[in-house]
Structure 1
């Protein structure tokens, strides 16, 4: 396989109809490390929104059992990407995620914001910051957008943006309006950063913490009231990531997909896991468990549009990808 064969394969696919396959290639072969970092930063950003950070802080899941919550989130998202939304493990992961989310009073606006971070942050990491070994094309950005639009519909989110530019505007404007310090958000942020440094040997844990802080943008540093990283650390982290991109560009393409359950930082399930049994199970959960989220109107909050019904009807095809 040549270095750009996977890119060429992506461009032979349809950005909307084949969005699951395109995201599979981007996530597991073309940019596995970058996508992991970008989606990690995407989730981290949400702690700076008071309604989200305080909720996560109150549950104690992201502060008291940080490793397990990290693992569960990665595995659930990974199963949807790996298997699509058709019957099987991908749909099981979607059902599990919907069950957890619907145990809490989360606004549609917050759902939209979180979804927007998943669309925007990979593009910002790879293209805008220049940390990818190559740029994402407009075709690939469109596929990422279509993938998360599809996921958003299966989550029952309303008024989902149609284009990447609309998602970017939504994310930036929501952060400008809502980012604010809360004790809960800061606690979740601290716990997450503490977990991140355990992924490195003890002898470099202090440097890893400084590096992690150096790649956070100023809005996050200010919101969480951290001491700002020095200019030297900012520049050093930026150069290191761009140097890594140049090295990866000269490496052979990854022929075998790399998925989250192969990541040594996923530590909670050394003997394997059942996606139906991971995550949280609040005692007051109002959702009927073992309900198919792709085929039941009650998980969409009411009547759906014909286009969305047709979208769900096509979900079985995704499972065959």
Structure 2
């Protein structure tokens, strides 16, 4: 397989009818690491909107159960990409996400902003910042936009933009109007940075936080009231990621897909998981009848007891356990 074979495959597909397949190729073959980073930063940005940051702070999921919260988010989003929205595990992941969200009062504006970060941040990472081993084409951006428009419809979001330009405009205007400091947002940000640092060997950890801060734009840094990164980190962090991109460009293409469940940083479910059995079950949220749960930090919420996340009908790893 040659380096640009996946690119050619994508451009033989339709950006609307085949948007799921295109997103699968981009996420699992062409840019698995890059899109993990971009989508992680997309979610991280949302903490700077006080209504979102305060809600996350009240649930205490990121501060008290950060590894589970990280894993649940990554796995649910990945299951929908891997399997689609219509049947099986993808449909179950979508239903689980909607159940959790509908247990809280969240405005359509906040929903739409979060959706816009999923559309905009991969393009910013790969194209605008030059962090990808190649740029996304207009065709690929259109396909990704169509995929997330479909996700938004399945979430019941209203007034979804028709194209990437509309999402970008909404993203920029919402941040300009709503970004501000909140205690809950800052606590959630600190907890997220702590778990990211913990993914690396101990000797690297003193460098990871300033390295990460060097990748954050001023608007985000100011919203969390962090000290601005030094000029060194402002240059070194993006420079290192761009150097990685140049190296990756000369590597062979990834023939086998890499999904989130294969990521060694996903650690909460060593015996496997089913998307209907992970995440939190806030008060009033339906719980599978055979799922044993324990109290979670959030008021009235419960989470699966240890060993309960795997599908009882099919067992552990076969139901989606790590495939290293």
What is the TM-score normalised by the length of structure 2? 0.88
C-alpha distance in 2, partners of 1:70/1:274? 16
Match of 2:144 in 1: 144
Match of 1:213 in 2: 213
Match of 2:5 in 1: 5
Matches within 5 A, 1:118-197: 118-197=118-197
C-alpha distance in 2, partners of 1:253/1:219? 36
C-alpha distance in 1, partners of 2:199/2:131? 20
C-alpha change, 1:288 and 1:264, in structure 2 (3 Å) is closer
C-alpha distance in 2, partners of 1:63/1:288? 24
- Cα shift readout 1:85-108 (whole Å, capped 9, x = no counterpart): 121000000000000000000010
Match of 2:261 in 1: 261
Matches within 5 A, 1:1-321: 1-285=1-285
Match of 1:301 in 2: none
| Pairwise CA distance, 1:289 | 7.8
Q: Which runs of 5+ in 2 are unaligned?
A: 290-324
C-alpha distance in 2, partners of 1:93/1:135? 30
C-alpha distance in 1, partners of 2:288/2:149? 24
Question: Is contact 1:99-1:289 (8 Å) kept?
Answer: no
Q: Which runs of 5+ in 1 are unaligned?
A: 291-321
Q: Which has the higher helix share?
A: 1
C-alpha distance in 1, partners of 2:2/2:204? 36
C-alpha distance in 2, partners of 1:191/1:73? 15
- Cα shift readout 1:225-265 (whole Å, capped 9, x = no counterpart): 11111011110111101110000000000000000010000
C-alpha distance in 1, partners of 2:245/2:150? 30
C-alpha distance in 1, partners of 2:159/2:183? 31
Structure 1 segments (4+ residues) deviating >6 Å:
287-290
Q: Kindly indicate whether structure 1 or structure 2 has the higher relative contact order, using CA contacts under 8 Å at least 6 residues apart.
A: 1
| Pairwise CA distance, 1:62 | 1.2
- Cα shift readout 1:5-62 (whole Å, capped 9, x = no counterpart): 0000000000000000000000000000000000000000000000000000000111
C-alpha distance in 2, partners of 1:288/1:246? 47
Output the aligned Cα RMSD. Answer: 1.1
Farther off after superposition, 270-279 or 45-54: 270-279
